A and B are shown apart, each in its own frame.
Chain A
Amino acid sequence: MRGNLTFDIAHLLAGSLVLVSFLQLYQARLYALLNIYALHALVLAASVAWQAFVQGAPHLYVTAAIALVFKAIVIPVVLHRIIVRLGIHREIETVVGVGPAMLAGMGLVALSMVVMLRVTPGADPLAREDLAFALSVVLLGLLMMVTRRNAVSQVVGFMSLENGLVLAATGARGMPLVVEISVAFSVLIAFIVIGIFLFRIRERFDTVDVQALDNFRGERR
């Protein structure tokens, strides 16, 4: 690693990614959420690019590009369309209120910090901090999936989780297959979005859910 500045910048980017995750948790409207997600992807792209520069690994630029084009532009637009086409109403139904969710998020970030900083200092500090942030992003993404009812916001949750993964992957110095993985994940996300569109999942995953089929099969007692 070269000097302190690189460290700080990577740190800054990763940290801001966490911050944006919090912003996502904070949102109450779908469109806003989508925009924030675009921002999330943008920050990710930046941090990936920076990592590419720091590690001198040109292939990471591809990942960054994917993040930029696909996640920051295409997906939000498509989802936007879907919302319009399916006439999904714009409020985000939450399971727990925004306040508690934020608190839980805090807890998760703290948890991931503790877990990661137990790592013996021998390891590359840049990687370590990065990992801590990545883990918190992942957990926050999961939290989002768990605490939001709308299908779209859950998808967004999943995508930010995946952003966390990419962040971790790129943070790992010289990790092979990163590009492939990010591609694979983009495919996965595409599948999900298509699924939402195909299955006409208006409100939440719950509407197409095993409940229906179990009532149908009469297994419920």
Chain B
Amino acid sequence: MNFDALAGVLLIPAVAAAALAALPGYRISARLNVLAALLTFATAVSLFVVQPASGPYLLVDDLNKVFIVLTTFVGFTTTIFSASYIGHEIEAGRLTPSFVRFYHAMYQVLMFAMNLALVANNIGLMWVAIELATLTTVLMVGIYRTHEALEAAWKYFILGSVGIGLALFGTILVYMAAQPVIGEGLNAMVWTVLVTKAAQFDPALLDVAFVFLLLGYGTKVGLAPLHAWLPDAHAEGPTPISAVLSGLLLNVALYALLRFKMLLALNPSALAPGPLMVTLGLISCLFAAFMLYRRRDIKRMFAYSSIEHMGIIVFAFGMGGALANFAGLLHMTMHSLTKSAIFYAVGHISQVKGTQKIADMGGLTVSNPVLGWGLVLGVAAIAGLPPLGIFMSEFLVVSSTFAREPWLATVLVIGILVGLGGLFLRLNAIAFGEPRGPAAPAQASYVPMFAHLAIVATAGVYLPPALVTGFENVARLLG
């Protein structure tokens, strides 16, 4: 396989990981980290210019191009944020240089794993990649070595492993379904081959396979009731990782689900994956919305909001149809950007206030106006208030659903409303009222946060036609 952008997306992080593992001194390594992420992002963008041919192991099509660019972009901005964040952590003495080295290396490994999962043309390879991503995040969640962090990591690890197991079983079943048609060997695991023959696969096998894949990868997506690992992993890991988890890893797992959904959709006699996804989506949305009300830990709260939005996205894809799929893609993109922006803000806030307890922060718009209003803007965005991007996708999801399935739409609307209530209940406590806690000015890099929010704000009122056509192609792909 000659070196093209596709290989670049994988090789750059891999090389960077090796280098970072070798490099001492966090300043230089932080810069290298940013540089590598930037390069990866650039190569990913170049995929739009020249689309490399897809081989038996790797492929690029409209679907994963969107995901890759999103992943690499958020990955890039997160490295900028992480540079200032980790700097503060080292000064605060919460992390030792050796751990920071490990952290940076792991970060690039994670990037590598996620990109691999996205470009993998082979369901087995994809599975391996996602397992790798999971394991790296497990290690990074536990990086603070505090009791709670280890707890969270362990929980994540156990539940994740079971999820991995289920997903593997599903993958094997898909192979079993494909093997009689396509014949033994590698081909029976290659997407590009599978989709061509999917119509002749054994539907019953596909059904069972999808159940296992839904639960296996659904665990990674964080769908209720498989979500248990997610809030703690977000709350206890370093904030950049929370951002990456919410912003990217969930998407990658979702991407896997979508692939298999397409496979089932191609087979006429297999069960429609829609209803399952819709049900899980609604459950997650409602459940997470109610969970928001009793949260005391700011990061955990936003973790739950991620669950809620993953529910909405899965719901949208489950509904299917051009409009809903488009909305789902848009919502996913907007959610990644917004949620990571929020976590950037939260990271700095918790560093300023020296705590993650909502009760101990307050009047943030007074003590740290920029952070405070940034957070308010982010929450407004995540709550689906215009003129921010998520409003558009929610508009499309709800209004397109209501005409088809009024009751589902109503339930979804209730979920959204309850979620709004929960978010702002806490936001009022954080951002307004008499300022509480230390008000030291944060030495923060606001650029990533506001860059994301700016994109989200623009997208709320204007989507560039190129993006739209891209999304529409993907939506058509998803059927």
Contacts and interface: CB of A to CB of B under 8 A. Distances in A.
B172 A188 contact: no
Interface string A92-134: 0000000000000000000000011011101110010001001
A120 B131 contact: no
B288 to A, nearest CB: 15
A119 B180 CA distance: 13
B128 A213 contact: no
B468 to A, nearest CB: 39
B205 A123 contact: yes
A221 B154 contact: no
B168 interface: yes
Contacts of A168: 169, 172-173
A54 interface: no
B296 A119 contact: no
Which of A122, A131, A142, A172 has the most C-beta atoms of chain B within 10 angstroms of its own C-beta? A172
A174 interface: yes
B155 to A, nearest CB: 6
A181 B184 CA distance: 18
B357 interface: yes
Contacts of B158: 192, 205
Interface stretch (B144-152, B245-253, B255-263, B398-406): B144-152
Nearest to A162: B165
A169 B232 CA distance: 33
B17 interface: no
A181 to B, nearest CB: 7
B189 interface: yes
Interface residues of B, number: 44
B148 A205 contact: no
A119 B179 CA distance: 14
Contacts of B161: 158, 188, 192
Contacts of B184: 173-175
Contacts of A135: 169, 208
B295 A184 contact: no
Contact of B179 (A173, A181, A217): A173
- Interface core residue of B128, B147, B176, B296 (most chain A CB under 10 Å): B176
Dominant secondary structure at the A interface: helix
A120 B296 contact: no
A212 B185 contact: no
A219 B294 contact: yes
Contacts of B164: 188
B472 interface: no
A116 to B, nearest CB: 7
Contacts of A176: 124, 185-186, 189
A177 B232 CA distance: 33
Given A120-B202, A165-B172, A213-B232, A180 B154 contact: no
Contact of B232 (A158, A184, A192, A210): A210
A191 interface: yes
Given A176-B186, A191-B157, A115 B124 contact: no
Contacts of A216: 147-148
Contacts of B180: 122-124
Given A122-B180, A131-B176, A184 B128 contact: yes
Contacts of B150: 199, 208
A25 B395 CA distance: 51
Given A173-B184, A184-B131, A219-B297, A213 B151 contact: yes
B357 A212 contact: no
A45 interface: no
A3 interface: no
A165 B165 CA distance: 7
A145 to B, nearest CB: 8
B317 to A, nearest CB: 25
B359 to A, nearest CB: 9
A175 B175 contact: yes
Contacts of A131: 173, 176
Interface in B127-155: 128, 131, 135, 147-148, 150-152, 154-155
A193 B426 CA distance: 40
B205 A119 contact: yes
A161 interface: yes
A165 B168 CA distance: 7
A195 interface: yes
A218 interface: yes
B185 A123 contact: no
B207 to A, nearest CB: 8
B296 to A, nearest CB: 5
A217 B161 CA distance: 27
B202 A219 contact: no
Nearest to B228: A210
A209 B155 CA distance: 7
Interface of B: 124-125, 128, 131, 135, 147-148, 150-152, 154-155, 157-158, 161-162, 164-165, 168-169, 172-173, 175-176, 179-180, 184-186, 188-189, 202-205, 208, 232, 236, 294-297, 300, 357
The 4 closest A-B pairs by CB, nearest first: A174-B184, A213-B148, A177-B124, A118-B204
13 contacts: A116-B208, A120-B204, A145-B162, A165-B165, A168-B169, A174-B185, A176-B124, A177-B124, A181-B128, A208-B151, A208-B154, A212-B151, A219-B300
